[in-house]
Structure 1
Amino acid sequence: MNSNTNGPARSGRRPVVGVCARTAPVTLQGSDLVVSLALGTHLTYLSEAGCTPLLLPLLPGAEDVAGRLDALLVPGGPDLDPALYGAPAHPSTRAVDPAADRVELAVFARVLEARLPVLAICRGMQLLNVLHGGTLHQHLADVTGHDGHRPRGESFTLGRRPLKLRPGSRVAGVLDEAEPMTACHHHQAVDRLGEGLAATGWAEDGTVEAVEVAGHPFAVGVQWEAGQTADRRLHRALADAARAGSGPAVPQK
């Protein structure tokens, strides 16, 4: 249960959902700036679902905000520092920010310890796996022999891959369809699954596409780009979990 002094989300106030920020260079009014930002659809979908999104810049001390949250969304972003899981960097591993990685891991750990609902997307799912002692394939095409998970093109393109879900899993209940498809854009993926995690979704080539924390009320990671399509189901499920405060846990592996 959240220890927020404002009372639990079910008291009637809008649940506060932390959204881990990403850092990027921008040009604004002729000035080159570095900003902390989030994908607008994540904020919109959470707001539409009755929550108040709160942007969390990945700076030291960000984990101390966990006690004021009702849930956390960890979105996609740059590659993780391979040193976090004891591996040398692959030539394709890029845009690594070890300082931000450490802060985000601390935020993630604090929120999970508080048993708050979590939705981890793309990089977020990879971070969840590394937090639990797992490892990553640093360049998935080396394993699968294709670029279907990150199609190459002149513009950002989502890959559409058939998705097999574990019956009875949290994510299967949220999506609730017979033949779901991913909308993905990633070149890294789970290699060794972290301790205490259950794989609950796979692409047709065996790539792990969804994981859940065993025994946790709602801690779901998906490898696809939730938030970059019109599909709001996962955001709504996170909002519902934030309001409820608890729910049936994913079964142990």
Structure 2
Amino acid sequence: MSEKNRDAKRTARERLAVEREKQKAADRRRRTLIVGASVVCVLGLAAVIGVVAANAGKDSGNDAGPVVGPSGAQGKDGLAIPVGEASAPSTLTVWEDFRCPACKSFEDAYRSTIHGLTDSGKLKVEYHLATIIDGNMGGTGSRNAANAAACAQDAGKFVDYHDVLYRNQPPEIDDAFGENGKLLELARKVEGLDTPAFRTCVEDGTHNGWVEKSNDAFKSGGFSGTPTVLLNGKNIYQDQTMTPAKLKQMVEANAKG
């Protein structure tokens, strides 16, 4: 074989080797693109799933949970916490918010009179809890305090804890009741209330859904604000001449028939 032929064959083999290497490189690139596309699809699917999950979390983020009423709750939809004898001839209906300064003023002025009338069997009080200050000022103190009061009702300590909350009410702009630690601290002022069951009820927000439903009832009730106080269905809080002594006189007169 001539030198020229040998050179030609060698050149052909080299060209074939080069083409084979190019083909291998192309195959490698194709496999890389396929794998890369698969990874992108998986990541894209994961992103979609993540967005759906995030949106689902947002949808349920404001959910106050199931409506679990406190022990002994009565009235329409079980939204009233009763105090006093069921057979009492007069009923005082009180819509209140534990962050509401006007509610505190009412309680401070009428507390002893109301207690005396309920203790004597002449008056029953139905407490309805609202959260309008949370809506107006922000925070969760109205709701958390109402939940804690409902937890106290479960323990048979509603009246005492109710009074402690008002005696220790923070300024309206201070959402101190939004901290469960503060509510638990105040519970220690009520003998026998600071128990594991009460603490769990407060920390878990057991009655938050019930509180929200109660507040919805307040908003749909056409009331002008808290406190709203009705004696046998008549709004007495709007009566500018009303005093604790006058309330007592009205209840005692009704008891006499």
Flag whether TM exceeds 0.5 (same fold). Answer: no
TM-score for the superposition, normalised by structure 1 = 0.23
Please state which structure has a larger fraction of its residues in helix.
2
* Larger Cα-atom Rg: 2
Q: Which has the higher strand share?
A: 1
Q: TM-score, normalised by structure 2?
A: 0.22
